[in-house]
Amino acid sequence: MVKYRRLGSTELHVSVIGIGTWQFGGEWGREYAQEEADAILDKGQELGINLMDTAECYGDHLSESLIGDYISRRKREDWIIATKFGHHFHERFTRTDAFDAKGVIAQLDASLRALKTDYIDLYQFHSGPDQAFDNDELWTALDKQIEAGKIRFLGTSIGSNDNLHQTDASARVNSRAIQVVYNRLDRMPEERVFPSCERQDLGVLARVPLASGYLSGKYKPGAVFGSTDVRHRHDAENTRLKLLEVERIQREEVPQGVEMASWALAWCLKHPAVTAVIPGCKDPEQVAANARAAGLVTGPHPQDVRL
Ligand SMILES: NC(=O)c1ccc[n+]([C@@H]2O[C@H](COP(=O)([O-])OP(=O)(O)OC[C@H]3O[C@@H](n4cnc5c(N)ncnc54)[C@H](OP(=O)(O)O)[C@@H]3O)[C@@H](O)[C@H]2O)c1
């Protein structure tokens, strides 16, 4: 049974397991037909998942378009849609920054068209530099879009998972949630970012919670990925070391009979600052396995809600 938590001080009650949709943009070794995207999202809804994360540059609004087509045939209000702004997509693995206020408003309209909706629940600054973040004109323009009803809440997806500058400035720019890399192999946010989130009552979306799939336990050191899979671009030695560590964790920390992917997601969800995880899901079976993680999360959490 999926559980729900309030996303910081927003009125959004999100399922603790969300669905990341970077893979819909075609950078994870395969392209997605509409029926395949539908099957993933339908499985999520069947299991009580109500949160999805996408972005302007997962393909040129391609991931958003697959979601939009799906949403146009389902109930919009059943889903909390988080998307992002700040880049122009040119071709796979090539984007340029575009954080100027005028350009972002144009991107917002393009995202709304692709998503076939008239509002976005959480609109996130997408891993941009501090210089782009410290532009009051941008945040003023976005606040006007909230007043116009196009955005419900703003968030920040920090690029470095130790970016205290952008995290600490959240209250000032009216950003209510932080999206950050957090998983069993990378605990950096525990030191400075999570305490800042707790101080400001920000929601936290843990992204890359399976360490790009390495924490599923299905890859052994030396695993090779196809040239169209983003993991082909990871440093090979670094990946080998991560997979060795995953083997150790699997041996020493994962209880007998528990799927490692579900365990790794539940591990993230135990931290009191973390609201939800947003694992990328390639098929309905992965959605189902990830949803099972909610059953491994025991004990109260400061953001628990009952729907
Ligand atoms: N800058 C940013 O804001 C930013 C950056 C990165 C990601 N994100 C967001 O975070 C989301 C998640 O990150 P991510 O997709 O990079 O990494 P991830 O969630 O750690 O890993 C996803 C991959 O793990 C594998 N997997 C998923 N569930 C599994 C299961 N139950 N069992 C076995 N394998 C499983 C799948 O690949 P295989 O089956 O091929 O192994 C899947 O593509 C993205 O979709 C995106 O929404 C945001």
Q: Please report, for the domain that includes residue 189, its CATH number.
A: 3.20.20.100
Classify strands 151-157 and 175-181 as parallel, antiparallel or unpaired. Answer: parallel
C-alpha 140/C-alpha 33 separation (Å) is: 38
Give the model's pLDDT for residue 306: 84
Nearest ligand 1 atom to alpha carbon 127:
1
Inter-residue contact 155 to 179 (CB < 8 Å): yes
Inter-residue contact 215 to 261 (CB < 8 Å): yes
C-alpha 164/C-alpha 158 separation (Å) is: 9
Inter-residue contact 83 to 124 (CB < 8 Å): yes
Report how many domains make up the chain.
1
Instruction: Collapse the DSSP code of 170 into the 3-class scheme (helix H, G, I; strand E, B; otherwise coil) and give the result.
Output: helix
Residue nearest to atom 38 of ligand 1 (CA): 213
- Picking from 207, 186, 185, the residue whose alpha carbon sits closest to that of residue 274 is 207
How open is the CA angle 39-66-81, to the nearest 5 degrees?
A: 90
Q: Domain of 52? A: 4-212+260-305
Q: Note whether residue 98 is domain-resident.
A: yes
- Picking from 300, 1, 8, 294, the residue whose alpha carbon sits closest to that of residue 179 is 8
Question: CB neighbours of 108 closer than 8 A, spacing ≥ 6?
Answer: 85, 120, 123, 145, 150, 151
Q: Note whether residue 230 is domain-resident.
A: no
DSSP string, 234-295: S-HHHHHHHHHHHHHHHHHTSPTT--HHHHHHHHHHTSTT--EE--B-SSHHHHHHHHHGGG
What separation in Å is there between the alpha carbon of 20 and the centre of ligand 1?
A: 6
Per-residue pLDDT 10s for the chain (307 aa) are 799 999 999 999 999 999 999 999 999 999 999 999 999 999 999 999 999 999 999 999 999 999 999 999 999 999 999 999 999 999 999 999 999 999 999 999 999 999 999 999 999 999 999 999 999 999 999 999 999 999 999 999 999 999 999 999 999 999 999 999 999 999 999 999 999 999 999 999 999 999 999 999 999 999 999 999 999 999 999 999 999 999 999 999 999 999 999 999 999 999 999 999 999 999 999 999 999 999 999 989 999 998 7
Q: Note whether residue 111 is domain-resident.
A: yes
Total-model pTM: 0.98
Q: Note whether residue 275 is domain-resident.
A: yes
> In b/e form, how buried is each residue of 193-231, taking b as 16+ CB within 10 angstroms?
bbebbeebebbbbbbbbbbbbbbbbebeeeeebeeebbb
C-alpha 261/C-alpha 213 separation (Å) is: 8
C-alpha 249/C-alpha 71 separation (Å) is: 39
Q: Note whether residue 186 is domain-resident.
A: yes
Residue of 63, 205, 207 best suited for mutating to test ligand 1, as the one with most atoms within 8 Å of CB: 207
Residue of 183, 214, 286 best suited for mutating to test ligand 1, as the one with most atoms within 8 Å of CB: 286
Task: Tell me, rounded to whole angstroms, the distance of Cα 45 from its chain centroid.
Answer: 17
Give the model's pLDDT for residue 178: 98
Question: CB neighbours of 164 closer than 8 A, spacing ≥ 6?
Answer: 192, 193, 196
Q: Which two tokens stand for residue 253?
A: 């920390």
Q: Note whether residue 135 is domain-resident.
A: yes
Residue nearest to atom 21 of ligand 1 (CA): 212
Q: Note whether residue 106 is domain-resident.
A: yes
Q: Note whether residue 124 is domain-resident.
A: yes
CB-based pocket (< 6 A), ligand 1: 20-23, 28, 53, 84, 126-127, 157, 179, 207-213, 216, 218, 261, 278-282, 286, 289-290
Inter-residue contact 115 to 67 (CB < 8 Å): yes
Residue nearest to atom 33 of ligand 1 (CA): 216
What separation in Å is there between the alpha carbon of 263 and the centre of ligand 1?
A: 15
